[in-house]
Amino acid sequence: MNDSEKLLESEERIHEFEARIARGEKIEPGDWMPAEYRKQLIRMISQHAHSEIVGMLPEGAWITRAPNLRRKITLLAKVQDEAGHGQYLYHAAETLGATREEMIDALLTGKAKYSSVFNYPSLTWADMGMIGWLVDGAAIMNQTMLAHCSYGPYSRAMVRICTEETFHKKQGMEQVIKYARGTPKQKEMAQDALNRWWWPSLMMFGPHDSNSPNSAQLIRWGVKTKTNDELRQEFINKMVPDLQLLGLEIPDPDLHYDKASGNWVSGEINWDEFWRVLKGDGPCNQERMQARRAAHENGVWVREALNAYAERYEH
The SS3 call for residue 309 is helix
Give the one residue of 139, 176, 193, 289 binding ligand 3HC; rule: CB under 6 A: 139
Nearer to ligand 3HC, 58 or 124 (CB): 58
Q: Which has the closest alpha carbon to 176: 162, 163, 166, 189?
A: 189
Does position 51 interact with ligand 3HC (CB under 6 A)? The reply is yes
Give the N- to C-terminal CA distance of the chain in Å, as an integer: 40
Does position 285 interact with ligand 3HC (CB under 6 A)? The reply is no
Nearer to ligand 3HC, 182 or 267 (CB): 267
Q: Minimal distance in Å, beta carbon 67 to ligand 3HC?
A: 22
User: What is the contact mask toward ligand 3HC in residues 207 to 236, using x (rule: CB under 6 A)?
Assistant: x----xxxx--x---------x--------
Alpha-carbon span 258 to 141, nearest angstrom: 22
Does position 203 interact with ligand 3HC (CB under 6 A)? The reply is yes
Give the one residue of 126, 204, 236, 243 binding ligand 3HC; rule: CB under 6 A: 204
Nearer to ligand 3HC, 8 or 123 (CB): 123
| Cα angle value 300/301/305 (rounded, 5°) | 120
Give the one residue of 33, 46, 47, 233 binding ligand 3HC; rule: CB under 6 A: 47
Give the one residue of 46, 95, 116, 144 binding ligand 3HC; rule: CB under 6 A: 116
Which residues, in sequence order, are CB contacts of 122 under 8 Å at separation 6+? 58, 59, 61, 62, 128, 131
Which residues, in sequence order, are CB contacts of 68 under 8 Å at separation 6+? none
Can you give the three-state secondary structure of 190-224, one letter per residue? HHHHHHHHHHHHHHCCCCCHHHCCCHHHHHHCCCC
Give the one residue of 52, 59, 94, 234 binding ligand 3HC; rule: CB under 6 A: 52
Nearer to ligand 3HC, 47 or 122 (CB): 47
For 41-87, the DSSP string reads HHHHHHHHHHHHHHTHHHHHTTGGG-SSHHHHHHHHHHHHHHHHHHH
> What does the binding site for ligand 3HC look like in residue numbers (CB under 6 A)?
43-44, 47-48, 51-52, 55, 82, 85, 113, 115-116, 135-136, 139, 142, 165, 203-207, 212-215, 218, 228, 278
